[in-house]
Amino acid sequence: MISTLNYFATNQTCQQFYTNDSSILVESNLNSSLIFMNQSAIFIAQNQITSTTTTTITGELLKTSQVVGKILCSVSSQSSWSQTATTIFGSQAGTSGSSLTLLSQPIGMYYDRFNNILTVADSGNQRILQFSLDNAPSVATVIAGSNGQGCNMNQFSLPNGIGVDSFNQLYVSDYNCNQVVIFPSNSSSTTFGTLLGSVTKPTLISISQSAINDNIYVGSFNDNAVYKFHARNGPAVLVAGGNGNGNALNQLSYPVGVYYDYLYTNSLYVADTSNNRIMKFASGSTNATYGTVVAGGNGAGSGANQLNNPRSVLVDSSGALYIADGINNRIQRWLQNATNGTTIVGGTQGTASDQLYFPNTALFDKYGNLLVSDRYNNRIQMFNLTTC
């Protein structure tokens, strides 16, 4: 498939603004380096094709005379993953701990695809950890917190969501302290953050990155609402819910997950947890905006048309939803306009490699592998992409 790219001479980059292609092939000469910048849910998989008689595809980026190109594979409705996972951080057996190789109830995650680094909100240990996926499992580095439980600017009390803006600043929603805190790039356990703003029981965070302005979206569990902070400063603006606890289309019930898709649908998606549904709100929404139910909403349950305590949601370029379905211990995929979802991994509670225990966040690495914060198993699981 031949795709057209726009070339920008000022910074010598090419950009593809939109494509419906499931994959494209990029060829370069052997003295060139390619960096694929993508911060949406397209989830590029970078693989090698060699010119030998038997074509081999690997996940390694080796520069040899045989390499003729890389396949960029978007996660799509046809994608599938191994049903058994590898524990890339934490205890495979589900044991909690406070060492730099263990976790205690991991919740939010952020993936840096350029450096292949994962950042995790290690909520039970009141800290934010970062570790490389190049040699997983590895020893983590504390980049914020780990100074006991509290509400000082170097402490946390149940950190939930994390996000990174276009300036590499870290944002943390501190649930019991009712605040969102910013940390500079290259922070550590000794770094004091600064207050972005106050939010009652803030949950997960989504950041729409822009060269001009970053907007920070955060759910409020107790306010039954989602707030937006403009360009790293307050005050917060209501963009969904805030009309009391209920199941009307302008209401939410203890929302946890938020995801703003700023590249494709330009819409806000909310894991409306106690209503067991995923809501979609148009750009520019306010507390007066009525959303659309795009998954679930058929009562709590394990049926294909149901969810039970959904914790997070993300969206790919086709409009398909990927949902961490907490109490059902599974990750669900709902195609655009579908009335039923399919289980892509999990589905039973346990510590085995094909099981989950209250998954909280799901995302994809640059190879299309599925990463899951397996909260009550105190671990991060990787399900390898098997079909593009």
Write down the pTM of the prediction.
0.84
The three-state secondary structure class of 2 is coil
In 316-354, where do the E strands start and end?
321-325, 330-334, 342-346
Tens digit of pLDDT for each residue in 333-373? 999 999 999 999 999 999 999 999 999 999 999 999 999 99
Is the confidence at residue 151, as pLDDT, over 60? yes
Residues 252 and 285: beta-carbon distance below 8 Å:
no
What is the arithmetic mean of pLDDT over 160-177? 96
- What pLDDT is attached to residue 376? 99
Share of the chain above pLDDT 90, in %: 73
What is the arithmetic mean of pLDDT over 1-19? 47
Sign of CA dihedral 330, 335, 341, 342: negative
- What pLDDT is attached to residue 234? 66
- What pLDDT is attached to residue 160? 98
What is the arithmetic mean of pLDDT over 293-310? 99
Residue ranges per structural domain of the chain: 1-73, 81-387
CATH class given for the domain over 81-387: mainly beta
Which is more confident, 296 or 29?
296
What are the distances in angstroms from CA 347 to CA 329, 350, 357, 358, 385? Answer: 5, 10, 9, 10, 18
- For 165, the token pair is 């803006």
The three-state secondary structure class of 333 is strand
> For the chain, what is the mean pLDDT?
86
Residues 229 and 199: beta-carbon distance below 8 Å:
no
Q: Identify the DSSP state of 356.
A: B
SS3 content of the chain, % helix, strand, coil (to 5): 0, 45, 55
Q: Which of 260-264, 288-292, 334-338, 355-359 has the weakest average pLDDT?
A: 260-264
